[in-house]
């Protein structure tokens, strides 16, 4: 009798899970749609991304409270940040186009070609980051300790915005939690 009850409860749980999974998930592009428009308001346009980049740059600049001498060092940093954002957008678009053509062709993925594509994207990203580091060095050298502390906090949100949401944010060795290394 006990086994029969356990089996029946298992079947009931499975039936309930199936019903929940099979229920209508809402209208296309809605909050429960698994497609590209799952975010509120749909995917971001190029204009949206540019507006958010402008806002992040303005927040960084305002948060640093630059002196007049430091203001002269700011334009190359801003240009490098914009270059990084542009590079990331171009990489995002290239990935979309590549995957769309792979789906249309239906051909199996060419692994060496995929590795070359990934290497090219990472090399472009490395170049953009190197330009940002080179542009930021003179400004960083002129910052006081308070500005450096604020830069550390503000740059986290800037990097998340430019790089996207595919980063670990939770606790652990790579997140921002109590076990974070370094």
What contacts 78, CB < 8 A, 6 or more positions away?
57, 61
Please give the pLDDT value at position 67: 96
> pTM to 2 decimals?
0.63
Please give the pLDDT value at position 4: 44
Contacts 24+ apart (CB under 8 A), 100-108: none
Over range 101-123, report the average pLDDT.
84
Over range 97-116, report the average pLDDT.
81
Distances (CA, A) of 91 to 87, 104, 120: 6, 20, 10
Over range 52-76, report the average pLDDT.
95
State pLDDT tens for residues 30-47: 443 444 544 566 777 888
Is the separation of the CB atoms in 53 and 85 below 8 Å?
yes
């Amino acid at each position: 009798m006990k086994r029969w009850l356990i089996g029946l409860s298992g079947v009931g749980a499975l039936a309930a899970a199936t019903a929940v999974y099979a229920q209508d998930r809402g209208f296309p592009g809605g909050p429960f749609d698994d497609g590209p428009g799952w975010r509120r308001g749909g995917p971001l346009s190029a204009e949206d991304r540019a507006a958010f980049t402008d806002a992040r740059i303005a927040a960084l600049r305002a948060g640093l409270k630059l002196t007049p001498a430091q203001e002269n060092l700011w334009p190359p940093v801003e240009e490098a940040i914009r270059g990084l954002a542009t590079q990331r957008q171009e990489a995002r678009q290239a990935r979309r186009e590549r995957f769309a053509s792979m789906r249309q062709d239906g051909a199996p993925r060419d692994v060496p070609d995929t590795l070359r594509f990934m290497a090219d994207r990472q090399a472009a990203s490395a170049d953009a980051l190197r330009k940002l580091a080179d542009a930021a060095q003179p400004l960083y050298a002129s910052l006081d300790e308070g500005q450096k502390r604020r830069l550390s906090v503000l740059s986290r949100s800037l990097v998340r915005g430019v790089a996207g949401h595919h980063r670990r944010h939770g606790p652990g060795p790579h997140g921002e939690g109590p076990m974070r290394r370094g």
